[in-house]
């Protein structure tokens, strides 16, 4: 684990970038540092691998103070991923990933073999190995940057706004892939981002810093949304906290999935049931849901052109936020639910989801009520 114990950083001109910062980044978890510009989050992260040395206080890695570790040895224990990847433009992708192991004396072929394994781990197949960074998209370059940071299998990983330079669609894909990767590698990660939504998606815990590098609150994403420590934290996290907190709550067994009739592509309109107020769920040849379709838009057969794609589709194990979004965005008022295999499972009504939300709120309130009763 990484422990900050009353760490401060003051520059020669008197600027205090970080003040009396104490927190723990647990092993195998992602700790995200967020806060307004100039709050010291990047300075705090760079003090871990001593790119910046603290003025006072102690930072320890698994109980060992970093101040007593040779800087080169320290940085061998810590992978580092930066914005825009920072790749060597004159080296191929495989040699970018193999660079540090080669520097540490590993055989060229062994380093390249390991690099190819890591590229595959981050979703880049063999065809990318001989390419150069300029031949890659921004998202692909970031994947290479992550692979390079993992090349020496360090127990710790620092990430400085690693996904901020790519477009929103690629960014969402990288975030999802990175969470899946973390399930495999289980590194102790400290990440800096200016995006609170990214922090809520990726963080096991989030440390919110005030101006001047003071800790305002450190909490899980769910707790940060449910119980911000003060007005500063509440304002920084932003509005729609109640809706966003539904992303951490799953449906209970009382939520009923209804059977709304399906309309397979290519099927005869005459053979279809009436549906719910005329609405049916369009499915493809593998019975995967495509969206809603109204009987009035169906000609002789069901076609893809007649499908309404406005409504989102939620997985059966999705949090309540995804189920509610599927219902609210649906033209029929019900949300489409897909099973674990991607096949059409059924639909859920808005009122049923709201009832599930209310049950979850009562369930979370009950322990506090009982605790109050015990104290009385």
Query: Which residue shows structure tokens 């979370």?
Result: 364
* 189: β partners: 30, 157
Residue by residue, DSSP assigns 40-53 as SHHHHHHHHTTSS-
Domain ranges of the chain: 2-248, 262-355
DSSP 220: -
Q: Supply 376's token pair.
A: 């009385």
SS3 label, residue 129: coil
pLDDT value of position 292: 95
99 and 79 Cβ atoms separated by less than 8 Å: no
CATH number, domain 262-355: 3.10.580.10
Convert the pLDDT of each residue in 97-140 to its tens digit: 888 888 778 888 988 888 998 888 888 888 898 999 888 888 88
CATH 3.40.50.2300 applies to domain 2-248: no
pLDDT value of position 375: 42
CA distance 258 to 194: 41
Q: What is the largest CA-CA distance in the chain?
A: 81
Count of other CB atoms within 10 angstroms of residue 22: 13
pLDDT averaged over every residue in the chain:
88
CA distance 36 to 50: 23
Convert the pLDDT of each residue in 222-241 to its tens digit: 999 989 999 999 999 988 88
């Amino acid at each position: 684990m990484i422990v900050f114990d009353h760490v401060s950083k003051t520059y020669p001109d008197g600027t205090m970038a970080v003040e009396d910062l104490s927190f723990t980044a647990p092993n195998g978890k992602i700790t995200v540092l967020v806060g307004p510009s100039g709050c010291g989050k990047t300075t705090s992260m760079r003090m871990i691998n001593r790119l910046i040395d603290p003025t006072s206080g102690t930072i320890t890695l698994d109980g060992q103070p970093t101040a007593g570790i040779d800087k080169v040895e320290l940085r061998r224990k810590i992978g580092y991923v930066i914005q825009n990847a920072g790749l060597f433009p004159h080296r191929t992708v495989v040699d970018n990933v193999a660079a540090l192991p080669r520097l540490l004396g590993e055989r060229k072929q062994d380093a390249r073999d390991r690099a190819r394994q890591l590229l595959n781990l981050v979703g880049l197949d063999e065809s990318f190995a001989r390419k150069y960074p300029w031949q890659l998209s921004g998202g692909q370059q970031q994947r290479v940057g992550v692979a390079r940071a993992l090349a020496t299998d360090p127990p710790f990983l620092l990430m400085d706004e690693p996904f901020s330079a790519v477009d929103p669609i690629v960014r969402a894909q990288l975030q999802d892939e990175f969470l899946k990767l973390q399930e495999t590698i289980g590194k102790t990660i400290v990440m800096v981002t200016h995006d609170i939504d990214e922090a809520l998606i990726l963080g096991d815990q989030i440390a919110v810093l005030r101006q001047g590098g003071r800790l305002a609150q450190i909490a899980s994403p769910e707790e940060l949304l449910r119980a911000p420590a003060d007005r500063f934290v509440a304002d920084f996290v932003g509005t729609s906290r109640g809706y966003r907190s539904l992303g951490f709550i799953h449906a209970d067994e009382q939520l009923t999935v209804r059977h709304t009739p399906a309309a397979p592509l290519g099927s005869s309109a005459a053979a279809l049931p009436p549906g719910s107020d005329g609405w049916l769920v369009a499915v493809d040849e593998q019975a995967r849901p495509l969206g809603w379709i109204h009987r009035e838009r169906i000609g002789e057969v069901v076609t893809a052109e007649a499908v309404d794609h406005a409504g989102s589709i939620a997985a059966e194990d999705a949090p309540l936020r995804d189920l509610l979004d599927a219902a609210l965005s649906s033209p029929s008022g019900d949300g489409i639910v897909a099973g674990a295999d991607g096949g059409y499972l059924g639909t859920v009504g808005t009122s049923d989801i709201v009832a599930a939300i209310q049950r979850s709120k009562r369930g979370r309130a009950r322990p506090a009520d009982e605790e109050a009763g015990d104290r009385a």
